[in-house]
Amino acid sequence: MAKVKTMGQAVVVVSEVKLDDIKKIEKYRPEALVLKGGEDGKEEIFRIGTGAGKINTYGASFGEATRDDEKLATITMTTNYDGDDIKGFIADELGAALTNLGKLEKTIPAVIDSIDKERTAIMDGITVA
């Protein structure tokens, strides 16, 4: 599951997934970044993507990567919360989104592996003359 770090008014969500992996899935299998649910299991309830760094009940849009070698996807936001329980505030505000993000993060390694195998097979069949 994604980690949340906070300092002062900054809140940073750090995914378990590389930003480049999310971009690869967006390109080749965008439907794999959608969590479905509802009564019939067909309703979109959460989505991961790239763009402006935002997270809410309906989705997470990652705009940056960590500066280390892992290059994990991150979202950096600010809050105006000034109380004493920032952990409780974040849990209340982002809890459902973080839970759904975690569900999708678990599926991403298998999707990346499938995309890579498919691309390799396609490239193996291409001859450059």
Q: In the predicted model, is pLDDT for residue 65 greater than 90?
A: yes
| pLDDT (tens digit per residue) in 6-27 | 998 999 999 999 999 999 999 9
CB-neighbour burial class of residue 52 (10 A; exposed 0-12, middle 13-18, buried 19+): exposed
CB 23 within 8 A of CB 29: no
| pLDDT (tens digit per residue) in 78-123 | 999 988 999 999 999 999 999 999 999 999 999 999 999 999 999 9
pTM metric for this prediction: 0.90
CB 46 within 8 A of CB 59: yes
Phi-psi map region of 7: left, alpha, beta (phi>0 left; psi -120 to 50 alpha)? beta
- Backbone torsions φ then ψ of 88, nearest 5 degrees: -65, -40
Q: In the predicted model, is pLDDT for residue 41 greater than 90?
A: no
- Backbone torsions φ then ψ of 47, nearest 5 degrees: -140, 145
